[in-house]
Structure formats: C-alpha cells, structure tokens
A and B are shown apart, each in its own frame.
Chain A
Amino acid sequence: MSKITKNQKGLQFLLMGNEAIARGALEAGVNVAAGYPGTPSSEIVETLSKVAKEMHLYVEWSVNEKVSLEVAAAASFANLRALCPMKQNGVNVASDFLLHLAGSGTRGGLVLVSCDDPGALSSVNEGESRHFARLVEIPLLEPGNFQEAKDMTKWAFELSEEIKSIVMLRSVTRMSHASGSVVYGPLPDKTAKGYFKSDGFILDPDTGPVISAPVGYKHVVQQEKVKKAREIFESSPFNTYEGPSMPELLIITSSACTLYSREAVRLLGLENRVGLLKLGTTWPLPPKLLKKHLSATDKILIVEEVLPFLEENVKVIAAEEAKEIGAKTFYGKNDGTIPMNGELNPDIVIKAFGHILGVSYVPMTPEYEKKAQLTAFTMAPNREQTFCPGCPHRASFWSIHQALQIDNRQGFVCGDIGCYSMAALPCGFSTIRTLHSMGSGLGVASGFGKLEMFGMNQSILAVCGDSTFFHSVMPPLVNAVHHRANVTLVILDNSGTAMTGFQPHPGLGVDAMGGEAPPVDISRVCEAIGAKVEIRDPFDIEETRNTLSRLLKEDGVKVLILKQICALSPEKKGKKKYTMSISETLCIGEECGCNRLCTRIFRCPGLVWDKERKKTRIDDVICSGCGVCSLICTTGAIIRKEAV
C-alpha cells in the first residue's frame, strides 16, 4: 500500500506538492484522472496511476491536453469526479474545449490543475495560465503551501459541484516539485455511479444535453456561477492575513510567492510594519475582503509570478472603491518594483522593501558577488545542457547535421518539444532553427515547404518525438501531404515520452495504469496519410545519413523514423551493449586531423578529455556502452567490444 492511500485522518507525511494535490483528489473521492505529461505537473497523474487499481480509479495519459480535458469532462457529465492536470501551456492546447466547457457547465466535480513554470525551468515559455480563468470565466484557486495544495484540491471538487462549473487550481514549479508537511484527512467511501442523463429539458443543467448554447442564456448562467463563487470566496479560509491591523505596507500575494514574501519579512524583522494578505481564491477576487484590507493601509506591494494578474485585478477594485477608501500607492510589476518576468525569490522581495520602506539589506556584498562569479567561471566544470550518454538523439542529430551540410543548400530543422529540443544547442550541433510548441515543427516546415515559388531553395526538415507525433503532429502531416509541401519529417522514436519522465503513449503497448493496450503504429499512420516512410536505427549513423541524404533530394513529404529506445528506459538502463576503450597510440587528440572531434564536437558526457595526457578517455561510470562514438572517431582510436 502506498503512503498516498493510507486511510487515517491526522497522519502526517512529507509530500511533494503534486503528491499533495493527488492526495487531495483522493480525499475528494476522485474517480477519473486524465492528463498529458508536462513538467511540472506529471507526478499528479503518475501518483494516481500507481494506486489506480487499489483506489478503483480510471487514470489515463491522453494523447494531448485537449483530449485529456474532454475525457475528464465526460466523467463529470456522468456524475463522477474527475481531475485533469497539465502544465501551463497545456491549458492553451485545451483552451477551446475549456471555453465551451465553461459555457456548458459540469456535473460531477471537475478540477483543472494547471502547473505553471515561472522562469521556464522546464519549458520554452513562461506563459501564465491564470488569465484563462478570467478569460473563460471560471473560478481560480492558488494554494500557498503544501497543506493547502491538498486541502484546496479537495475543496475544489465541492466548489465545482456547488456551482456546476469546472474549477481551476493553479500551482507553480516550486509548489509542485518542492515538498512540505501535510496532515491527512479521511478517504471517503465511493458510491458514485456513472450515468449520463441528457434527455431532460434542454436548459436543465442536471438532466438536459450538455451544450454551451443557447449562448445568450448560458453565458448569463455562467456569469452567475462566477458571482456565486465570489460570494463564497469572501469568507474562504484560504485567504489569510498576518500582521498589524494598520500595516505601513500591505503585501498581497499568492502561491509560492507567499513563502518568498514571508521569508523576506522575517529576515528583515518587519513583522510589525508589514502585513501579508495571502490570497488563495484569486479569480474572481472577493471585493469586500479586499476593500477591508486596502482601507487599512496606504501602500500596497503585490508579489506574484509571472504577470501582474493579481495586481491589475486588485487595482480595478481599488479604483472602484476609491471614493470610499481613498487613493492608494501600488508597488508591483507595472512600476518596476518587482520584475515582470522570471521566477521570484526572497531577495527580490527584500529589494522591494528597500525601495519602499527604506530598509537596507545586502544579501551579498559586491566583492563577494564578483569573487563568486569569477570562481564559478574559472573553476566550476562546464555544465551546459546536453543529451544523456547513449541518447539516440545525439546520434540522430549527428547524422542530420552531416546530411544537411553535405546537401549544401543551407537546410535547417524546424524543431519540436521534447528532449530533442536541445538540438538547438551545440549538444545537437545547433541543427534546430525554429522551436515553438507541440506539433509546431512540422506545421512551420509545411509552410516553408511551399515557398519555392518565392525563390526559396533550402532543404527543409522537421523533427518530432513519438509522443509528440500523437499529440499534434498528425494534422500538419496531413496538411503537408495534401498541399504537396517539400519537407522531410524525422520522427525520433525512443519508445516513450522521455522528457517528462518516460510516461507511455499510444505508440506503446501499455497504458498509464500498467495494463496492456493496443499500440498505434506510427509508420502505418504516416503511410496512410500519404507520406513516403522509411525506418532506420539512428545508431547506424552511416546508413541513417545516406538515407537522409537521398530523401533530401526527393520531392514531396518524406518521413524517416529513427527508432532506438531511450538510454534511460527500464529495458536499457544499466546495461551496456559495448565495452568502450581508447587506444592512446591511435588517438591524435588536438592535432590537425582530429582536433578533439569526440570531446569538442560530439561531446558525449562519457568521453573525457585528459588535459595532461592529451588524449581522450572513457568515463566507465557514465558511459552507457552504446558504441556510437567509435563510429565517429576518424583514426579508429575509440574501440568498442561487445559486452559479455
């Protein structure tokens, strides 16, 4: 039995934020959880999938976030409780359905958990998902600590059923992936039965069809729900205040920024001067509560990530109440006190105090900062982003790069999202030249592939992973084939959704709960769409390069599937196919004729340049034994032997 399913009220555990959210859903009696892997949200579905059988849950890794929300919504329509977690840009993918779902309403409690990534620690954007709540007009909750992550998730289901609307719960990386103490509540007996009643009166939310039309009527109903939530929020225990009754400065904050703000106040000993209003219900804002706190001070500092969402909404209330409460001075992002981008930390809040209250606190003297930077630069080992030892992507991009250079037509690769996104960097020989969102690589390439009539003569490639293929690459593939774009799609099939933790996807024979599932064959899908398909092993770099060189010269849509399982997959991890060694007599290292091709360009972490001996050597601990480096060495100095 997992710690997450212990049914004993009052038990205390150290839980990751995502685990706390999962526990909260369990305490709410959740029946269905569907999502698409996305950092920092993935552990929520993972945690629930591990206990699915025990807790009689249906847990699914859907093909993309839009479908995952649809799957969760179906459960809600059938009077069951459903949870749908995703990362911030997953909400963008699901947004069209979300808009209509907000209009149609829900039945069983439905909670959308959006995990934002301020600072883009694991993303190529730091887009904010909070605005969706305001945009599609649904309530928004933000837990400010790990206990709240559990409690608010549980309560979100109750709120959702009370107003018959989807409720959005927003977390951030530092909440989802950090850990804290959580006290358990009881687990309920689940008696819910799934049945979709839809033959009632057309406008009846419980028995009629679930449609967002007639819009005129339904939109009004939807806005009433939001108003009701706002009433409830006025007395929510998740909005807390700590500090003097008439603070010199009021901080309004939410989410992980609560912790930064609290720490900053404590560090400077400002508990008597600064009040902290932590909001857990951040859309719609409860106006009475805010009016009460705004009137107790003249200065307000709003600390939040990433954009001034709270700030601008608070200012609206302040403007509306100005006649009664007077004009206030606001500090936040719009006036530059807090940065408009990136992740925050206690030092940033401390700096704001310095600016507003005139307190000085230097976290680091300039001399120390300079010394630290110099030391880091000269003495810390180079830690640029790179592929794992044995990663098939390194081999794939080696061949792609060679093929493009030899093709000599200034060809380029439109990239997509996954570990292979790093091919925009030197570890992938800087081959990727455009990078946006899931499935966009081929979409953009499909556009480039039609520009020949304007004189564009460059070779166009797109890359995507196997999971990405199912997520959103099929539509642009149809587009490219039907519109006869001259593009080559390279599908990097490493048999899993690797970047986010090796979750399964429809191309594999297993589902989220570990059960058998029929795999969907990528090559046959591509052929059915009308592309020319070839499959190769990227570890055979010569064959891969020759195939790609040939395909680049052909017209039409070509798909090259490079199939080799991820180095970190359970099947491969810890097993070496080859034992690697270096012949020091053959290694010419820095000389003209090599110039450290393996350690300077190829740069697998398993290859180390020995500065004293001026030779390459193999780090046996890191080396995964894939053998590819021996194929690129020009003098045959890297030797591979089949491991016994």
Chain B
Amino acid sequence: MEITIKGQHALHEEVRQAKFCTGCGACVNLCPYHAAHGDQIVMLHACDIKEGRCYAYCPRTPTDMDSLRKQLFNTEDMMPEVGAMKGFYVVRAGDEKLRSGAQHGGTVTALMILAMQEGFIDSAIVADEGDGLLPKGITVNIPDEIGKKGKSRFVVSPNVAEFNALAWVGGRKIGIVATPCQALALGKMRAKPVPTHAERIDQLKLVIGLFCGWALSWEKLSALIRSKGVDLKDIEGMDIPPSKYQLLQVYTKKGTVDIPLDEVDPACVRGACHYCPDMTAEFADISVGSARLPEGWDVAKGWNQVITRTSLGEQLLALARSKGVLEFRKVPKGNLERLKKASMSKKKTAEKNLAIRNGQPKDNINMDSQNPGLDNV
C-alpha cells in the first residue's frame, strides 16, 4: 500500500479538525510547533515542511498495517482477532503491597519495575495526573517510584510526547505504558518512516500495552464528576468493572462514588475512540488487561490477562515467573475465546462507524477527513 507522508497542515486537517485525534502525543515534542494540554493536542505555530514526522508517526494517518505487522512481529504468531500472540496468561503481582497500590493485578507495575531492576530499561514513562485529573506523561527512573503511579486513568495521557522529549535528550533505555493508539504510534516510529532523527526510536526498549475499550474526554469527565459533588482533588482512583455492572466507580478519600455507566458512555467518551479497531494494544511487546475468572469479579479484579507478542515480552514474563515477581494461575477454559470475541466486537464497531462516516459500507481502511465527526474529541 502506497503511503504518502505529508506535513503539519495535512495532519491538522485530516486528524485534528476531523476529530480523529486520540491524544496519544506522538506529534508532540518532536518540534516546537505542537503542544499537549491535558488530552488535547494544540498547534502552536504553522510549519510548512512537506514530509513531517508528526504526520508519519500519527496513528490516525494512513498506515500500511500489514507491512508494519510483518516488520514488528512473527507472521506465525499473528491472530487476526487479537494481533501477534506468543503466549496468553492470567497473572498478578506477587507482592501484595504492590497490588494494593496499583490497578487490578498490578501486573503492569510489576513488569515495569522488573524491567528497570534487570537493566532492560533505565527510564519508565507512565501516566500521571496534574490538577483536577489533567493527564500527563512522566518519566520515572527509580523502581520504587513506578509503584506510586500504578492507578488506571480513563483519560488519555499523551505519553508518547514524554517519550519524544526523553528520546531527544538521548542515551536512554526507555520503557513505556501505552494505550493501543500509542502502541501503534510507537510501532510506526519503529518502522522509521522518515530519516530525520530516526535513530531516536532505538532507545525504546519495552512497550507494555493496555487493553482499552475507549478513553474519556477529560473536559466531559471532570465536569460529570464535579456535578456529582466530588472534589477532583479527593480522587484516589477509578475503575470500570465488567459490563454487567454498568458503572464507573470513583474511589475518593471520602469513599466510593458509583456513576451509572450510561452517563459516561457515550456522553463522555472521546469521539475519536469510536473508530478504533484495537482493543488489546496489538503493537505492544506485552499487552495487559483485567481478567475474567469463574469466581466472579470480586476475585477477578485482583488479576490480569496478559498477551506476550515479542520474544522480549516472553523473556520478561518468564523472568517475572522465575523471580516470583508475578504469580501465575491456570488460564480458565474459554478465556481466550471470550477475549477474541470482545476484541472482534470492537473491530466491528469501528468498521461500522467508519462506514457510516464515509458513507461507504466496505471502507474500513480510509478514515474520511471530509466528514466531520462527533462532538467529543
């Protein structure tokens, strides 16, 4: 597939103005012309370069997925529903204290700490929060500090921007926690589409992807939470339990606040997410999500489901097992099938939404920037 790399103007028109932008941050900190403010990407000045890295790295510009997959993964490992899979596991962090400070099974946190302790990486980029839920990416160089940033956010944190800034400085081994769109952007960067500063991506050593259904718009979510009388400063964490509960749970210093999911989805969902076909972060080294167990959510909420996609991913997981950093349990029968079904459902929805937007029933490759999108970006 012939891909044309364009510049900032096209990026602005085809992605930002068309409301396809996922806020991943891949276009930020490459140059002085973009900035991230919370989950929004803003243009600071106009750039007239014909072929820009911003356009090349953006996960929402035309991408030759086939070619990218071939470059990054083994063809034998490819599963159409969930991407490359070397292994599928149900795990949780071995350290109970770590688990309580993190989300669900604490697997992402545990793996990142292990990677740093073992020297795979010297810097970990994770999501953090500024005032009032405002997301931002931060770099952590001390294993202990990783544990402090272990809670889930439901608003996109532009972590790739933090990667770009760090990689610019140079001389690092970087690990990053990434949403599916961020993993895709990093994957596109790994393919080195533009020669300028292409060697910087070599500093990326580990991508831990997160399962993702959609992200919420920071503006809409913070307004909703405030309307429930919650002071954003009091928030300690958030979760969305399995769909049968139909809730967004907000954990505050004063207790848990349950918000009906129908007030959140679709009203607060980031519009661009409706066109995303990737639930399991198919371009990561390891992808992690919450588990489903026969005992039910009360038990399952303390575990994770993990897909390893690259040999590094397998290697890290094996190391985690041998050091007791992760506890493993037998994968329940049907879990993979359930996961595949869920993932396919997201793909079908994305395809349907694209078709509606483009007015073409079979078009699931091209995002039509001429058709203005939904209200939430």
Contact = CB atoms under 8 A, between A and B. Distances in A.
Interface of A: 401-402, 405-408, 429, 590-595, 597, 601, 632, 634
B47 A405 contact: no
Contacts of B48: 595
Nearest to A429: B45
Given A591-B196, A593-B53, A593-B196, A405 B35 contact: yes
Contacts of B47: 595
B42 A601 contact: no
Given A406-B37, A593-B53, 19 more contacts: A402-B35, A402-B44, A405-B42, A405-B44, A406-B44, A408-B40, A429-B45, A590-B49, A591-B196, A592-B30, A592-B51, A592-B52, A592-B53, A594-B32, A595-B33, A595-B47, A597-B31, A597-B45, A632-B32
Contacts of A408: 37, 40, 42
B44 A592 contact: no
A597 B196 contact: no
B257 interface: no
B43 interface: yes
Nearest to A632: B32
Contacts of B30: 592-593
B72 interface: no
Nearest to B47: A595
8 contacts: A405-B35, A405-B42, A408-B37, A592-B49, A592-B52, A594-B31, A597-B45, A634-B32
Nearest to B40: A408
A597 B32 contact: yes
Interface string B22-59: 00000000111101010010111101110111000000
Given A592-B53, A593-B53, A595-B47, A406 B33 contact: no
Given A407-B37, A408-B37, A593 B42 contact: no
B341 interface: no
B194 interface: yes
- The majority secondary structure among interface residues of chain B is loop
Given A406-B35, A592-B53, A632-B32, A601 B196 contact: no
Interface in B41-100: 42-45, 47-49, 51-53
Nearest to A592: B196
A481 to B, nearest CB: 27
Contacts, number: 48
B197 A593 contact: yes
B31 A592 contact: yes
Which 7 pairs across A and B sit closest by C-beta, in order of nearness? A592-B196, A406-B37, A593-B31, A601-B45, A634-B32, A595-B47, A405-B42
Contacts of B44: 401-402, 405-406
Output the residue of A402, A429, A592, A601 with the most chain B CB within 10 A. Answer: A592
A373 B45 CA distance: 31
A592 B6 CA distance: 12
Nearest to B194: A592
Contacts of A405: 35, 42-44
Interface in B316-332: none
B32 to A, nearest CB: 5
Contacts of A429: 45
A632 B33 CA distance: 12
Contacts of B40: 408
A120 to B, nearest CB: 28
Contacts of B32: 594, 597, 632, 634
Nearest to B37: A406
B105 to A, nearest CB: 36
Interface in B167-206: 194, 196-197
Nearest to A598: B32
Given A405-B43, A593-B53, A593-B196, A634 B35 contact: no
A633 to B, nearest CB: 9
Contacts of A593: 30-31, 53, 196-197
Contacts of A592: 30-31, 49, 51-53, 194, 196-197
A429 B45 CA distance: 8
Contacts of A597: 31-33, 45
A429 B43 CA distance: 13
A591 B47 CA distance: 11
